[in-house]
Amino acid sequence: MGTELLHGGDDGGEETTSVHVLSLPEDPLLPQSGQVPAENRAAPTNRSRLPAVSLTHSTWVASIPAQFRRSQLPLPLCEVPMAAVNSRRVLWGALAGGVVWNVWSVIVNAAVLSARYQAAQKAGAFLKQPRYPYPLFIGVWIVMLFVLAFVVAWLYASARASRGAGPKTAAIIGLLVGFAAGFPTNFATATWAPISRHFPLWWMLELWIGAIFAALVAGWLYQD
């Protein structure tokens, strides 16, 4: 393709200069200026006629390559039905378990440790007179054991849906609650307190075994 340019000469006249511009052949695969290939053009659509797409678990899994379906992608969120807790049965289980726990507490403190308490008081390891009135201490201790029994019964009722009903689940709940209630403090007492290690040992067993007894009783009485 040629183009002629006009410019002034040295003598004031006009000179004509021809400039040749190289023209490349058009590539049929490339779109022309201002044009869009037919395959890239968006076809007119009617949104009202589009089918509704529902993303279900099956379609979600089918869209994932097989090598990534199990180990490398999280499972889709889904709702898991939870069984309702029978509050009345939990209360009955807490009351019965609290009674059993208090009976076990009396056995430990009155039958097993009574003579050791008296010897420790005479040796000055324990106070001869309690800081709080004795009836108040006994009442608060009994109430605390009933509260712990309620915690055990409620945990068992909540765990039945996932762990299954029965004495095995109840025993696991009792073991866990008894460990949390009885082991850490009494282990520290046995390590640092200047008293016989029989006291923290039996105090730990009072709470640990008592929690297991209360859980088994609550599990036996609980029904949906």
Round to whole Å and give the CA distance between 146 and 114: 23
Overall pTM > 0.75: no
Residue 213: which residues within 8 A CB-CB, separation 6 or more?
97, 100, 101, 104, 174
List the chain pLDDT tens, one digit each, 224 residues: 555 544 555 555 555 555 455 555 555 555 555 555 555 555 555 555 555 555 555 565 566 666 555 555 455 554 545 568 889 999 999 999 999 999 999 999 999 999 999 999 999 999 999 999 999 999 999 999 999 999 999 999 999 989 999 999 999 999 999 999 999 999 999 999 999 999 999 999 999 999 999 999 999 999 76
CA–CA separation, 39 and 45 (whole Å): 15
